[in-house]
Amino acid sequence: MSGYDLAVIGLGYVGMPLAKEATGAGLRVVGLDVDPRKVDALTAGHSYIDDLSDADLDAMLSGGFTATLDQSVLAASDAIVICVPTPLDEDHRPDLSAVRGAVASVGRYLQRGSLVVLESTTYPGTTDEVVRPILEEASGLTAGTDFHLAFSPERIDPGNPKFGLRNTPKVVGGFTTGCRDRAAAFYARFIEQVVPVSGTREAEMAKLLENTYRHVNIALVNEMAIFCDELGVNLWESIEAAATKPFGFQKFLPGPGVGGHCIPVDPSYLSHAVRKLGYPFRFVELAQEINERMPAYVAARVQRLLNRAKKPVNGSRVLLLGVTYKPDIADERETPAVPVARAFRELGAELSFADPHVKSWAVDGVPVPREEDLAAAVARADVTVLLQPHSAFDLDMVEKQAHLLLDTRGVLAEGERVERL
């Protein structure tokens, strides 16, 4: 009998919810990370994940969960799930260095009969072409015969109060049918619905399809926002009207750009896979082009607002409200607030920000002053830009007190001083 039912590699926003649900279902879980600060924080009962409270973590620790830097725990684990980051490199190509490192560690300790699952988002073929050879070479074991290998894409949506790991269907693809069945049975111990697919490539593609779908549709409404403003059409009202159709339409909203790990990053993994075939994935590349120009468009709209008030952007006080990539979370990954701030800086604006979830914020290494008193900050600013409508913000006060306000999220009523994107 092994020491652990599950070892989770990568104790971030994907790995910790997985460890929480498995521990809650009675599994013996160990978490492995290369960052000693994370291990120390977890051991001390301090959560750094939005969706995991200190109380949740206390319950996990009481349930037997441990966090460690010691890779040898992998040799005592029935199932090993890899949840490490898969960012883009400087040339916007997939960076699988963290995956390769984690897989090499697994290979050194892999035992016959174990299950290895990759959850990190990646391009189709990674599990078979990258992960499997490393595991087999390091362990001397054969996938599908000596150990089970599968891919199951993470579907974590930080800050979502309705859908978490347990009640979000789990897609699972195996290297062989036996691998798939073993992985599906494992996840079924703590997830309500498991969705098996025929192979790892289909599971890898499912994740990329989900996020590319969102990326393309967000780009569609972002482009429409730009020309609807020039046409004098209230796109926000049109979207709400279209959303009354009970079939054939899903509501997407414009915004200052896309953020988080998934939407700005994942479609590039798919584009990379298609480019290896010798041609571009034009839908994705067009969507990226449109979404990446939205921060500059936000700056241009603010410039127009200030012009009407006979003020230049240069020297004007610009207050950014909400600099995370989603409302009511502290996650700043790929936040569009960064290129928005950069655009205002280049125009000479005096920038400050207010965000209850972010204690300090820097853009390109230069700190942006944080406002503690929201009402005073709004009253002092020449223009306020609402980037994320955190529930902690008193938006009624902001709407009444702002001299000029650009609402990039369509949550405030338009008026003489307030414009929607």
Q: Quick check: is 262 catalytic? A: yes
Q: Nearest Cα to 269, choosing from 213, 334, 219, 208? A: 208
Residue pair 74/105 in contact (Cβ under 8 Å)? The answer is yes
Q: Nearest Cα to 270, choosing from 221, 218, 216, 207? A: 207
Residue of 83, 179, 228, 262 marked active site: 262
Q: Residue 397, Cβ neighbours under 10 Å: how many?
A: 13
Query: What is the pairing mode between strands 405-407 and 418-420?
Result: parallel
Sign of CA dihedral 215, 220, 226, 229: negative
What end-to-end distance do the CA atoms of the chain give, in Å? 59
Residue with tokens 């995991």: 52
Please compute, for residue 110, the number of CA atoms within 13 A of its CA located in the half-sphere on the CB side.
31
DSSP state of 131: I
Q: Nearest Cα to 189, choosing from 379, 53, 9, 28? A: 28
Sign of CA dihedral 171, 173, 178, 182: negative
Q: Can you say how many angstroms the Cα of residue 102 is from the centroid of all Cα atoms in its chain?
A: 20
CA distances from 255 to 219, 387, 409 (A): 9, 8, 6
Q: Which residues are catalytic, by number?
A: 262
